[in-house]
Structure 1
Amino acid sequence: MTPLDLHSERFARTGNIAGEGFRRLLGRPALGLLQTVVREALQNSIDAAPEGNAVEILLRFRTLDGGTLQTLRERVFNVLPPDEADPASEADGGTNLRRLLAGDRVSVLEIADFNTSGLAGPTRADVAAGDDPLDFVNFLRNVGAARDTHQGGGTYGYGKTSLYALSQVSSILADTWTTCDGKPVRRVMGCHLGDAFEADLDGKRRRFTGRHWWGRDDGEGGVDPVEGDDAIELAEALGLPERAGGRTGTTIAIIAPHLDPEEDLLRAELVETVLLNFWPRMCAFTPAARRVVVRLEVEGRRIEIPPPEAYPPLDLYARALRNVHGSGVGEVRTVRSARPAADLGRLSIVRGLRAPRHVLALKNGNPILGQAHSIALMRPVELVVRYLPGEAFPDKRFEWAGVFICSDDAEIEKAFASAEPPAHDDWSPDMLPKGRTKTFVNVALRELKEVAATYVRPRAALGDAEERGPSVARTATRLGKLLSGISGRGPGRNVSAGGAGNRKAISISAARFVGLEHVGGRRIAHFEADLTNDGSRPGLVLRASPHLVLDGGSTSSADLPDEMAVALLDLSLAGRTAGAEGLRIEDAQGGVSCRVTVPDEAAVGIAFGFGEGDGA
């Protein structure tokens, strides 16, 4: 096979975008460069999957040497752009293609997808496509093509600049098995993104954009990709992922990526990047047609990616996602806009004990993998846009995780998609024009930020008059410390039974912790409170609900393992005692007491409430 031909793009008389301007299109992503690349590449892969196809993706890091490196050097990059081939351009000490290829080893990061449509359609941007998609030219030729996938991962085209940014020499190879005019075709092309420069051409000084392609001379001043048997032969010689049996899809090989050379840290970063961004499509309950299967290899070694349910705190996020889907048991809240009236999306938050972290989650110290206290924001495609942080529990043994998915209503989903910057890593309503779409995103973010900030310490009143009750005396800043020898009113308000008249005619004070005792091998906490009762509603029932205390918040028993459950032993008033059924207050008032079981190394509290019922 003959070496590839180089085409360096000239500035047209009507103008072009320079290479350095192309690189700046990505902006400044909030994520690291590797995360941005993997997000962009996998989002494109998911968008390229025909409906009903599970996507398979291979992330592979390897080193080329010997014959493989010789193929890269002599058959792909045999001819170099002027600014990359001139030794004088190396004065700044940076890496360029000439210096890189002169060495005896070159690393590559390959991102390959299977069961997708590949980079289909024509290979020239000026050719009418008819019914064919424009995937090839939009990815390798055009800049910033419009989003054309229903509820897809993002606007196709801008984020691809991150692929070049990850390469130390701003160079990639693309290998795709796809279709054009309804026929299967294999294509390979090399690309380089440099700076604008001047050079002599045909006896004249010309300006060039800094964008370059390697392929086959098309006879009209440009190059097309290598196709057919030549493409298959070149891909095999370079050791690119096999596509036996015509497995359609695309491989992007990033030349000399900026990655941590320490293998353990690299493995951890790749696993972390995949899971933090794509876990919603990798859960055990993800429908087969929407599932993303990711394989990871580093220098020939297969790295297992644990399921999200086995990679805390993603287990909590997965539970919240099930709730949003309607297949879980937890509470789901609809986030609404009043003007214009619209349901903007669904939110669920789950709390629980902080589970031990997977060994790979400890490598890079990512705060998202620490004590969870964020809401994962998504569109219906269910790829994580970002994690919206809130307040963490003061006790680091507990954590919470939420999931918000915006509505799949076409107008609302498009509003959130339009609010995403090129890296698709945020919702930025300031990017939108004034109107309904901007209002939708602004209202949703305002509501979500409020929930995240107040979930641990709610600012609102504690429910309606019949149900609300005070928290107990502050138990400590850490779970595992019970107040002992300390009395006094807790931080909650008195609870009123309500009514048409004086709302404080029947009320109960905040609880006071009295003491702790051990009975029959169990720890038991005593609490007291003061009941005010004018006798106007003798049939009202006083009830006490115990809970595990998290310094101002409390847990539901559904969130806790059996060994952490708490139970009410008894509730006493005016010489009468009852259990969970509660006590009719009749005309009694004064001291109320109750006893609660306490798990080891835990703190408990009591919420009093009034209601109707039989009672004791």
Structure 2
Amino acid sequence: MTAVLSRYSKPRGAGDQTSGGRGKLLRAHGSLTRAQILVRETLQNSWDAARAGRRPSYEARVRRLDCDARAALAENVFTGLGPELDALAESLSAPELHVIEINDRGTTGLNGPISPDRAVEKGEPNNFNAFVFDIGSSKPLGSSGGTFGFGKNSTFEVSAPHAVVYWTRCDRGDGVLEDRLIASALHDPYDEDGLRFTGAHWWGDTASGDVLPVVGQRAADLAQVLFQRHFDDGDCGTSILVIDPMVTIPDAEGIGQRTAVRDSDAAHELCSQLVETLLTSAWPKFVADDSGQTPMDITLKLYDKTVDVADKAAALFRVHSHGLARIRRAQAGIDEGEILVRPGEIVESDLQAISLRPSYTDETPRESYFGDRADTVSGHVFLAKALRIPPAPGLLDSWRVDAACFMRSSAELVVMYEPMADENDGTFMWVAVFKPTPECDRHFAAAEPATHDDWNKNAPDSLASAYVVDKTLGHVRQRMKKFMLGDRVKSITEERSTRQLAKSLNGFVPVGGPPTTGGNTGGNIRAGGGGGRSHAVAAAGEVTIVSTVQDARGTWHLTFRAPEPTGERCRLRASVRAATAEGAFGLTDDEVELSWDVGTATENGSSVVVRGGIEGVLHVEMDIEATIMVDIDVEEVV
């Protein structure tokens, strides 16, 4: 029998905070949008809940609910709605009701007691109560990321009726896995029958007089109707259903208007904003370690189709990713002599440790600053000057270029960006990446607001934390200025060839990013070699570059369409040049190998005869590490 949940509305007592004020606590700091906070906070929660020895996964799905799920929400979950919940009733009756489904796996799930008044012993988990019932329940500063506990409200803030459903599978404490299901809504306070209520509501099992989640098979049966992603045998995790999400869409004057996502246009806009947030806030999660494994598996889906985020992150943040890899090695004590392959667009780079010299006292001994570190390093900063490669259409450029990126230590989630002011002609970009050492990360955690998007030296209660944050940020900013100033005084002659090379590429437009109307046409493409995924861009011409892909071996596969008229024979001839800081030079047959797939045939060499309008693939395999330029010329066949 499918479970039917009962409603519990919290009466107001002394000291209670009304639910309407909870979102204000989260929005009181910073300028992040609700969608940005949603992604940042739920991603952080999933990372913090990772099971020991497991690589956690995070997934967000934007989708339209089917009839069965809509009926289950109205008849089995959100029951007993009164006038104080008219907004929820209106959402549930919307014919095009959408949801955001957020799933994590490889995590502990919401374990611990399920009764809101149950105390826990030291070291015992209390995740269910803390996440579902509590507000502002802080975690120790030694935790990897979130410390305030307000982030859970981000799901309510995105929902038009401020309503969510939680489904979790966890170890109930005796080695047995248990499914738990409960729903919640946060609305304005109201009066009823002479009593005052906070506006916080839960739907679950109220037989005890309090509200508890539905558990066991009854929870699993109902959840499997509501959620698309289910649990594999033996797996734990949490799924959240955000009901009737809203998205901010700029009007003709650029003023953002919040609207419920109830059609495909709004769903695509919401998905675009989620992509942007994942790229700007979570790009470090897409950077593999020395074993080739990324810290976290992140997936985004729109109407059951997977949205490419990993490839975009790899392309946009090549320089940042290289810097983060170097910082990871430095903080792991790996010798810099083990060279990492440097992206070809980097002209100059440096990795610097930030060392502090505080004065120790009885109140602030050495350990209060650096824990058990043997040195006084509070973090590392990577600095780079690189050729500015244009972004794909629709992807933000301002976040990644001429900006310093600051992130937390083990969590490796971006906290903020700061501009690196510089007067240049757009030829180059400046990049800085900073990450604290694990021993000093707690100081930066203490300096964050509830939204985790800033470091304020005046926020920590500890003098040691205030000192570490203030002095470290000051040193990082000084190092950035010195790095950029040192570049300005270099000989103009020394840089002339690089500048001329980069200027010659300014007319290129990206391919391989979000699709553009009519595709990209071009006789030239530029591809970044030298390890990892890279950029490829095309310029206007007769040959249409349909897509560019670089495989794990570094070989480029360029899908092209021969020029019109259809059926008329022509010869395509490809040449490859390497673009380096010293200029561009042609590659010999010993350095590059070209092959063409046209129809069912494969031909080796620099040219191939094709018929107009046909599609084919040019394979470019190199034995050198460099950014490359490929010219595809069209010749008549006599």
Same fold (TM over 0.5): yes
1:226 aligns with one of 190, 197, 214: 214
Instruction: Please name the residue that 2:17 is paired with.
Output: 17
Q: Distance in 1 between matches of 2:322 and 2:229?
A: 35
Residue aligning to 1:582:
none
Mapped to 2, the partners of 1:238 and 1:122 lie a distance apart of 24
How has the CA–CA distance of structure 1 residues 146 and 239 changed in structure 2, closer, same or farther, with 3 Å as cutoff? closer
Change (3 A) 1:440 1:169: same
* Correspondent of 2:285 among 281, 284, 296: 281
Report the counterpart of residue 92 of structure 2 in structure 1: 101
* 1:39 equivalent in alignment to 2:40: yes
* Gapped regions of structure 1 (runs ≥ 5): 86-95, 463-469, 483-560, 568-616
C-alpha distance in 2, partners of 1:167/1:396?
41
Indicate yes or no: 2:564 matched with 1:564.
no
Structure-2 residue corresponding to 1:243: 231
Provide the rounded CA distance (Å) in 2 between the counterparts of 1:352 and 1:400. Answer: 7
Which amino acid is the alignment partner of residue 19 of structure 1?
S
Structure with larger Rg: 1
Contact 1:43 1:153 survives alignment (8 Å): yes
| In 2: Cα distance, 1:309 partner to 1:197 partner | 46
**CA displacement at 1:268 relative to structure 2:** 3.0
TM-superposed CA distance for 1:121, in Å, is: 0.6
CA distance in 2, matches of 1:48, 1:377: 19
Please say if 1:355 is aligned against 2:344: no
2:157 paired residue among 138, 149, 165: 165
CA contact (8 A) 1:174 1:252 kept: yes
Render the CA deviation track for 1:461-503: whole Å, top value 9, x for unaligned. Answer: x7xxxxxxx6348999x94399xxxxxxxxxxxxxxxxxxxxx
Deviations 1:238-273 (A, max 9, x none): 134211314210011111111364454444322222
Q: Give 3-state SS (helix, strand or coil) of 1:311's partner.
A: helix
Q: Is residue 169–residue 237 contact of structure 2 (8 Å, CA) maintained in 1?
A: yes
The runs of 5 or more residues in structure 2 that have no matched partner are 250-264, 330-335, 341-348, 361-375, 503-576, 584-638
Partner Cα separation in structure 1 for residue 313 and residue 64 of structure 2: 33
Cα RMSD after superposing both structures: 3.0
Partners of 2:89 and 2:200 in 1: CA distance: 17
Alignment pair present for 1:442 and 2:470: yes
Work out whether residues 44 and 156 of structure 1, in 8 Å CA contact, stay in contact via their aligned partners in 2. no
Shift, 1:290, TM fit: 6.5
Say which SS state the counterpart of residue 331 (structure 1) adopts.
Answer: strand
- The Cα offsets for residues 489-522 of structure 1, whole Å up to 9 and x where unpaired, read as xxxxxxxxxxxxxxxxxxxxxxxxxxxxxxxxxx
Which residue of 2 is the match for residue 336 of structure 1?
Answer: 355
Aligned residue in 1 for 2:405: 375
Match for residue 443 of structure 2 among 415, 426, 431: 415
> Structure 1 residue 404: deviation in Å?
1.0
Does the 8 Å CA contact 1:138/1:156 hold for their aligned counterparts?
Answer: no
Structure 2: how far apart are the matches of 1:22 and 1:445?
31
CA distance in 2, matches of 1:317, 1:230: 47
What is aligned with 1:544? none
Residue in 2 that maps onto 1:133: 125
Task: Report the Cα offset of residue 152 of structure 1.
Answer: 1.5
1:117 maps to which of 100, 105, 108: 108
Shift of 1:148: 4.0
* CA displacement at 1:218 relative to structure 2: 3.5
CA distance in 1 between partners of 2:295 and 2:476 (Å): 27
CA separation of 1:289/1:50 partners in 2, compared to 1, >3 Å: closer, same or farther? farther
What CA distance in whole angstroms lies between the structure 1 residues aligned with 2:185 and 2:313?
40
Instruction: Report Cα offsets for 1:214-254 as digits up to 9, x if no partner.
Output: 0011322x211111111111111213421131421001111
Name the CA shift for 1:302/1:159 in 2 (closer, same or farther; >3 Å).
same
Paired residues, number: 460
CA contact (8 A) 2:501 2:579 kept: no
The answer to whether the Cα contact below 8 Å between 1:323 and 1:331 also exists between their aligned partners in 2 is: no
CA deviation map 1:266-300 (0-9, x unaligned): 44322222232222222133657861101111012
Larger mean Cα displacement after TM superposition, 39-48 or 148-157: 148-157
Q: 1:474 to 1:246 in 2, by over 3 A?
A: closer
CA contact (8 A) 1:319 1:350 kept: no
The residue aligned with 1:389 is 419
Taking the aligned partners of 2:114 and 2:82, their CA distance within structure 1 comes to: 22
Amino acid at match of 1:357: P
> Is the CA contact (8 Å cut-off) linking 1:375 and 1:389 kept in structure 2?
no
Does structure 1 retain, via aligned residues, the 8 Å contact 2:444–2:455?
Answer: yes
- Asked if structure 1 preserves the Cα contact closer than 8 Å seen for 2:138 and 2:148, the reply is yes
Supply the distance in 2 between the matched residues of 1:425 and 1:442 (Cα, whole angstroms).
16
- Equivalent residues in 2 for 1:542-553 (5 A)? none
Q: Residues 190 and 389 from structure 1, CA distance in 2 versus in 1: closer, same or farther, beyond 3 angstroms?
A: same
Asked whether the 8 Å contact 1:269–1:364 carries over to 2, the reply is no
Shift of 1:458: 4.2
Alpha-carbon distance between aligned partners in 1 of 2:280 and 2:456, rounded to the nearest angstrom: 21
Q: Percent identity?
A: 26
- Partner in structure 2 of residue 214 of structure 1: 203
CA distance in 2, matches of 1:212, 1:453: 52
Aligned amino acid, residue 25 of structure 2: L
Which structure 2 residues correspond to residues 135-214 of structure 1 after superposition, within 5 A? Answer: 135-148=127-140, 150-155=142-147, 157-182=149-174, 183-200=176-193, 205-214=194-203
Cα offset for 1:122?
0.6
Aligned match of 2:555: none
SS of 2:7's equivalent in the other structure is: strand
Shift of 1:140: 0.6
TM-score (normalised: structure 2): 0.67
Q: Is the 8 A contact 2:391 2:397 kept in 1?
A: no
Counterparts of 2:216 and 2:70 in 1: how far apart (Å)?
22
